Structure 1
Amino acid sequence: MSEQVSRILPGRRVSRRSVLQSSAAALLSAPLVVKATAAFGQEKLAGTGEVVVYSYGGSFTENLRKYVSDPFTKATGIRVVDVTADFAEPQIKAMSAANRVDWDIALVIAQGYSELHQAGVFMPIDYSLWDGEALKGVPESARLTDAVLAFRNANLLVYDERAFPKGGPKNWADFWNIKEFPGPRGLNANLGYHSMLYALMADGVAHKDLWPLTHDKIDRALKKLDEIKPHITKWWAAGGEPIQLLNNREYALTSAFDGRALAAIKQGAPIRMAWDGATIGGIPWTVLKGGPNSANAQKFIAFVNRAEMAAAFTQATGYPGPNVNQLKYLPADLLPLLSINPENAAKTVQLDHAWLVAKGPHGKTNSDHIQERWLAWRAG
């Protein structure tokens, strides 16, 4: 079930910090602040001591503390200690190897989850601590045995509405339609499988038929990409690039991360999101086996998945957690901008991470094989 928590392919130099630190504090003029009381925490979540939580640092951790961690402490009496780094997986491996685990909770990428899950370094999640609204709101696909989806992120089509005053593109077929939607374009330089999926959708492949990316589909995608390649004025690499280039009118339309686009829109940028064909991945919470405060870690996981706290997390970070019951706690103007909105979710494509990390007949992981094809095509 690890496809539910996919994110960055091995070897891709895309910093999660650069993706996630998207001026989340500017998302709303009045972010939700949960009234954290002992009653809200409930007796079964009350405790003492601390819990050590890894996240990405910068504005992500600052806002997580203000809108999630501090309310957790107020409600439960458990203090949250932040630890930050750009990547958690090397530290988790080192701590496990040394039999000295200093963290309790970590966000991990999908590849890291798959490998570390096999190594048995995560504790089972204690779902008995969850309230009914969380259990009903978080789908079973997001509730793994030893991980819980923390948030979803999307790569999607965004455009400068100034370039299309009569209406902008709605899907990837429109992205390829130079005649009706003229202007400079952008695509991600690193994540080749995303662009291949976009190309297949532009070529008429239905969402349900995209996976697996077999040899014939890769060939078909690259042939379709040949059509758009001359119109890609810059292959962007850092998460903030496509939004900045849209603002500068150096792009008319591009792929981009949803959190970056959302933050820019809330700040007044003339940018619009097109959800049809957005590719969706995610990052899970994990509780590390052997951590110093495992019982408190389980309480934190239960707390952050409550509907009100899920809404606070979404507003704090710009990326929605999986609990759909949070929608009733979010401002109406934010709902159209979120992947968790049912209307948007119905148009998206889930990444098949299980297939991407599996080894093919070539002896490599499918993701590595795709990336080799992608880099060769880019260089051609």
Structure 2
Amino acid sequence: MPEQVSRKLPCGRLSRRSVLRSSAVLLSAPFIAKATPVFGQEKLTGSGQVVVCSYGGSFVENLRKHVSDPFTKATGISVVDVTADNPEPQIKAMREAGRFDWDVAICNAFFPAYAELQQTGEFLPIDYSLWDDEALKGVPAPGRLADGVLAFQNATLLVYDERAFPKGGPKSWADFWNIKDFSGPRGLGVYTFIGSMVFALIADGVARKDIWPLTDDKVDRALKKLDQIKPHVSKWWSAGGEPIQLLINREYAMTSAADGRAVAAIKKGIPLRMVWDDATVGDNYWIILKGGPNNANAQKFIAFVNRAEKAAAFTQATGYPGPNINQLSYLPAELLPLININPENAAKTIRPDYAWWFAKRPDGKTNADHIQERWMAWRAG
């Protein structure tokens, strides 16, 4: 996800790079993933290489140090790194050229290109026979698709400056709308409109379970509620680093923000508080490209990454948690209350309805296109 939120398809969550650039900071807690002999035995032992597409900068550097190099040491398979902010267009280009140069990539489930590639069968079925029992039990079934595995989740949630509320800050999106009791400048994302609509509906009394689908009447209701808070939004942030920096600068009292950005700041000692109630959560998947040069090694890489100890290494390395719940035993205690796979936090979040999001309306437009148009018209008004 790029440093700025995707402008082509805003979707209530932050762009890839904006979410991921906080990863280096999150490594402040010491953690060393040990490559034990079991990882080099039996099913995962091999030779040659695997080409893995992820994101640049600190993400790929830390992924190599904490995951890729241990994978090579354990299995004998080398990892070749390639990087892309949004790999889906490049995958489509490779498909059209009839040649796939990558083996593994991380794709955003909210991007139309991902849905198109999945529907046309460009991803290889995952070989779960390579997975150990702990990984199969630790990764929830919804994260284990036939042709993809959840790589990480990212959340957008309410974050506030504790300095602005010495007697206690907001505890809900209703409080975000409560100017009388919780005064101060607010922040919302200009491109993360799905999140803003969801938060508005929650503040207006819609139950978490009733948010999706975002039917026209709910969109009307959300925009009407947003009319109330619009005068108090001092700045509509557009890049992932903005909301946390504006909190630090005391230009915001509270804002929507990415969980990873907030965690990185908190671990640096900045007095921010994360409110997990009714946070929105989105998915990013490991996929294996059908026709890639090293499919067998790609299967082994994904099996390795999802083992509990390695999942913890991935979380530490990238700043965002992989899906294996068993990794919680390997993570620093101070990190657990701050991450979105903590069961207490996860139970409070709102997950999107991807099938509805990409479904077409009677006019031929997708629901995604229609809601984006509604948002742009509201913003311009």
Pairwise TM-score range, normalised by the shorter structure: over 0.9
Equivalent residues of 1:68, 1:312 under 8 A apart: yes
Pairing 1:62–2:61 present: yes
* Matched residue, 1:18: 18
- Structure 1: how far apart are the matches of 2:221 and 2:172? 18
Pairing 1:324–2:325 present: yes
**Which residues of structure 1 form unaligned runs of 5+?**
1-6
Please give the TM-score of this superposition, normalised by the length of structure 1: 0.95
Larger displacement relative to structure 2 (308-317 or 11-20): 11-20
Q: Displacement, 1:18?
A: 2.6
Pairing 1:83–2:79 present: no
Q: Displacement, 1:282?
A: 1.1
Larger displacement relative to structure 2 (165-174 or 229-238): 165-174
* 1:21-57, Cα deviation, whole Å (9 max, x unpaired): 11x2222434322111332333210111110000011
* 1:5-32, Cα deviation, whole Å (9 max, x unpaired): xx9684449742232111x222243432
Q: Tell me, what secondary structure is at the counterpart of 2:153?
A: strand
* Matched residue, 2:30: 31
The one-letter amino acid paired with 1:26 is V
* 1:138-184, Cα deviation, whole Å (9 max, x unpaired): 01100000000100000000000100111111110010011111100
**Which residues of structure 2 form unaligned runs of 5+?**
none
- Structure 2: how far apart are the matches of 1:226 and 1:30? 42
* Matched residue, 2:352: 351
* Matched residue, 1:172: 173
Q: Displacement, 1:113?
A: 2.4
- Structure 1: how far apart are the matches of 2:241 and 2:87? 22
- Structure 2: how far apart are the matches of 1:153 and 1:67? 20
Equivalent residues of 2:106, 2:286 under 8 A apart: yes
* Matched residue, 2:52: 53
Equivalent residues of 1:133, 1:325 under 8 A apart: yes
* Matched residue, 1:252: 253
Equivalent residues of 1:72, 1:300 under 8 A apart: yes
1:215-254 correspondence to structure 2 within 5 Å: 215-254=216-255
Residues 160 and 35 of structure 1: CA distance in aligned 2, closer, same or farther (over 3 Å): same
- Structure 2: how far apart are the matches of 1:31 and 1:362? 54
The one-letter amino acid paired with 1:276 is D
* Matched residue, 1:296: 297
* Matched residue, 1:105: 104
Q: Tell me, what secondary structure is at the counterpart of 1:350?
A: coil
Q: Tell me, what secondary structure is at the counterpart of 1:113?
A: helix
Please give the TM-score of this superposition, normalised by the length of structure 2: 0.95
- Structure 1: how far apart are the matches of 2:319 and 2:161? 20
* Matched residue, 1:314: 315
C-alpha RMSD of matched pairs (Å): 1.4
- Structure 1: how far apart are the matches of 2:305 and 2:283? 16
Equivalent residues of 1:122, 1:289 under 8 A apart: yes
Aligned length: 373
